[in-house]
Structure 1
Amino acid sequence: MQKLNTDPRIAGMFSGDRAWSLVAVAVLWALYAFVFYEVKDYLGDQQVVWTLAVFGGLVLLFNTAAIIAMVAHLSEAREEIYGLDLHYIDLAKKKSYS
């Protein structure tokens, strides 16, 4: 639930973190696909190829689920998380100006 007096910088920080998280997941999937494509010809046995595909898919599934859960947590607690960051950023700016 959002508060009425939210800092617009919080929304910006959250949207940036969400976007970079999705980019990281997309890059992870692309890297796994590329590595699997390049390695599968050297594996020989078809069972090894399937085993690598299944366990690589499980790693991708769990990593993707973890990133989605992290973004959901950031969404729920964005006032606390980003508010604290902004507090210290503002303090650092005040110290650098004085």
Structure 2
Amino acid sequence: MAESMQARIDAMFRRDKLWAFGFVLVLWAVLAFVFFSVNPLIPDNTMRVVIAVAAVVLGLFNTASIVAMISHYSHDKNFIYELDIRHLDEARHH
């Protein structure tokens, strides 16, 4: 049972990590799309640079927060996911 539980924990962690990094990729794609969509509407090059820097800073902070979240989850994954799995198993039996 312990190996089965560990395998389930590892699978849930891999899936969550995949979703998190997928979110980061989509975020960067959306930031680029929005910037290039509004780029022709920006009248001033200084404003264009400010908007580009703001988009990059936003992307970097969100990327860093997701990486930090995954790092914390990897250290506490047994506690986090074992509790989730036990609750899912209980709900499935009711």
Secondary structure of the residue aligned to 1:44 is coil
2:30 pairs with 1:26: no
Residues 39-78 of structure 1 correspond to what in structure 2 (within 5 A)?
39-78=38-77
TM-score normalised by the chain length of structure 2 = 0.93
- C-alpha RMSD of the superposition: 1.2
Cα offset for 1:7? 2.1
Q: Quick one: distance in 1 between partners of 2:92 and 2:38?
A: 50
Amino acid of the structure 2 residue aligned with 1:33: A
Amino acid of the structure 2 residue aligned with 1:56: A
Select the structure that is richer in helix. 2
2:85 pairs with 1:86: yes
Aligned residue pair count = 92
- Following TM superposition, where does structure 1 have runs of at least 4 consecutive aligned residues deviating by more than 3 angstroms? none
Amino acid of the structure 2 residue aligned with 1:9: R
Secondary structure of the residue aligned to 2:87 is helix
Cα offset for 1:94? 2.0
User: What percent of counterpart residues are identical?
Assistant: 38
Match of 2:35 in 1: 36
Amino acid of the structure 1 residue aligned with 2:17: R
Report the more deviating stretch, 4-13 or 79-88.
Answer: 4-13
Amino acid of the structure 1 residue aligned with 2:78: E
Q: Which runs of 5+ in 2 are unaligned?
A: none
